[in-house]
Each structure stands twice: as structure tokens, then as C-alpha cells.
């Protein structure tokens, strides 16, 4: 699978630095990035940005979203409230691959306080270039 043409990204203040690095990396790869905030390290509420990214995926404006906060729990919980969104909290590259292969996840949630920027970039690349395997996993995804 090639990188998608476009994605949406969002973070709270804890994930801002990582969001900027990911946005820059994807722009260099010719991926159009819809940056839905935040735009600084000033304290803010993660649900505002998680809902914005999840809506972009839910409405079909983008095939994938990326969310970041300190632990990634808050953004994952928030994003998963939306229909058609399967947000996966990932902290290792293998988890990011399996989230796509087995769960057809479409929103990657990264814990900025627990991974490095290099690990985040590796997971972004893996997540966006890994195909869903379908098959036995399809019926499970349909039950979600």
C-alpha cells in the first residue's frame, strides 16, 4: 500500500511537538495534511481536536487520522465515540501494523510522553502503508 493522498491530524499541547514533526514528514512525502490543531503548546482540551479528526474520518473527507496526546488514551476514547472510526492506541511499530492488518484501524493514536519522535514517525509510516488483511478479520471488524 502506498501512502494516502491526504490525512487529518490533531493533538493537544502534550502532542504538539510530535504533531509538527509528523506533519512535516508527511508533507515531504507529498501527503496533504489537514491540521486540525492545536497550534501551540498552550494547555488545551484534547477532546476538541480528537472530535475534529474523527469527524473528518467519519465524514469521509480523509481515509486516515492521526491523534496525539500525553498518553493517547483520551484521544482514542474520544475518537472511538464516532461511527466508522476505529482508533488504535499504538506504542510500538508492531502494534501499529497489527492495528491495520487485523482491525482495519483508521485513526492512529500516539502517546507523545511515552515514545520518541523517531518511533512516532516509524509508526505513522507503518500505519499508513499497511493494508487490512480482511479474511477472518473482516467478520470481527463488522461486529464492532
Q: What is the mean pLDDT of the chain?
A: 97
Q: Residue 83's pLDDT band (boundaries 50, 70, 90)? A: very high
**How confident is the model at residue 23, as a pLDDT?**
98
**Structure confidence by residue, pLDDT tens digits, 99-124:** 999 999 999 999 999 999 999 999 99
pLDDT above 90 covers what percent of the chain?
99
Q: Which residues have a catalytic role annotated? A: 69, 102
How many domains would you assign to the chain?
A: 1
The answer to the question of residue 1 being in a domain is: no
| pLDDT tens profile 53-77 | 999 999 999 999 999 999 999 999 9
Residues 6+ apart with CB under 8 A from 4: 31, 62, 63, 64, 128
- Residue 33 reports pLDDT greater than 90: yes
Domain span at residue 129 reads: 6-142
d(CA 77, CA 89): 9
- 3-state secondary structure (DSSP) of residue 109: strand
Q: Does 105 reside within a domain?
A: yes
State the pLDDT at residue 13: 98
User: pTM to 2 decimals?
Assistant: 0.98
pLDDT of residue 1: 81
66: domain CATH number?
3.40.1400.10
Amino acid at each position: 500500500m502506498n501512502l494516502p493522498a491526504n490525512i487529518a491530524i490533531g493533538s493537544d499541547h502534550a502532542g504538539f511537538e510530535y504533531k509538527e514533526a509528523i506533519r512535516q514528514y508527511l508533507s515531504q512525502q507529498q501527503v496533504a495534511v489537514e491540521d486540525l490543531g492545536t497550534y501551540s503548546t498552550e494547555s488545551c482540551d484534547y477532546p476538541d481536536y480528537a472530535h475534529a479528526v474523527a469527524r473528518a474520518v467519519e465524514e469521509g473527507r480523509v481515509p486516515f487520522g492521526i491523534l496525539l496526546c500525553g498518553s493517547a488514551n483520551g484521544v482514542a476514547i474520544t475518537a472511538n465515540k464516532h461511527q466508522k472510526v476505529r482508533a488504535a492506541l499504538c506504542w510500538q511499530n508492531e502494534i501499529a501494523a497489527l492495528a491495520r492488518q487485523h482491525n482495519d484501524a483508521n485513526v492512529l493514536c500516539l502517546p507523545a510522553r511515552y515514545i520518541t519522535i523517531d518511533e512516532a514517525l516509524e509508526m505513522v509510516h507503518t500505519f499508513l502503508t499497511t493494508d487490512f488483511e480482511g479474511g477472518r478479520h473482516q467478520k470481527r471488524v463488522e461486529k464492532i
